[in-house]
Amino acid sequence: MHSPVQLIRSKRHGDTRGWFTEVYSEPKFTTLGITCTFVQDNHSLSVPAFTLRGLHFQTPPKGQDKLVRCIRGRIFDVAVDIRKGSPTYGHWVGAELSAENGHQLFIPIGFAHGFMTLEPDCEVTYKCSDIYAPDHDGGIRWDSVGIDWPLPDGTAPELSAKDKVQPTLAEFDSPFPYDGRPLAPFA
């Protein structure tokens, strides 16, 4: 059984011209247990270093699986288990995604997602399994989960007005059911 959140390390094929990689292949992802259909692609630019976006999700019935990658710069990308009844509720995993390493993070429905830029001018793209639905938009405070964000001492993250006032994890009443797959560290 695969962990619900997965770090995808795509193979790059390179020569003197550069490199090529498959970002998404339905048959290959199916072997990893990722069987959702992606219907929307998003692209963001974060100009200042230490911009923090998150922790976000969409509630049922408009939940979103996400496949996230950084195409310029470096980010610290995280997923937090918010499935009611999960033995790993409130636990998180994180990984550095960068244009250089080409890694991607798959975040299924039932997990809050967020990232922090580690340098200026970062661009992030991600696929979603459902369209944006403002009435189902949700979040929890970035600092209420115990995530070890790689912030330099004395540095506060750049936050949106919305992210500054999200409820804490303790205040959140999760509508997401546990599916029997606990969150596991990345191999």
Catalytic residue chosen out of the listed positions 56, 89, 103, 113: 56
Catalytic residue chosen out of the listed positions 89, 103, 113, 126: 126
126 in active site: yes
pTM here is 0.95
Superfamily for the 6-10+22-177 domain: Jelly Rolls (2.60.120.10)
The model's pLDDT over 160-184, given as tens digits with 9 standing for 90+, comes to 999 999 999 999 999 999 999 999 9
The domain locations on the chain are 6-10+22-177
The model's pLDDT over 58-79, given as tens digits with 9 standing for 90+, comes to 999 999 999 999 999 999 999 9
Strands (E), 49-130: 52-58, 66-72, 74-81, 83-84, 92-98, 104-107, 111-117, 122-128
Confidence of residue 127 (pLDDT cuts 50, 70, 90): very high
113 in active site: no
Residue 154's alpha-carbon distances to 26, 45, 82, 98, 151, in angstroms, are 44, 24, 29, 24, 8
Which residues sit opposite 43 in a β-bridge?
125
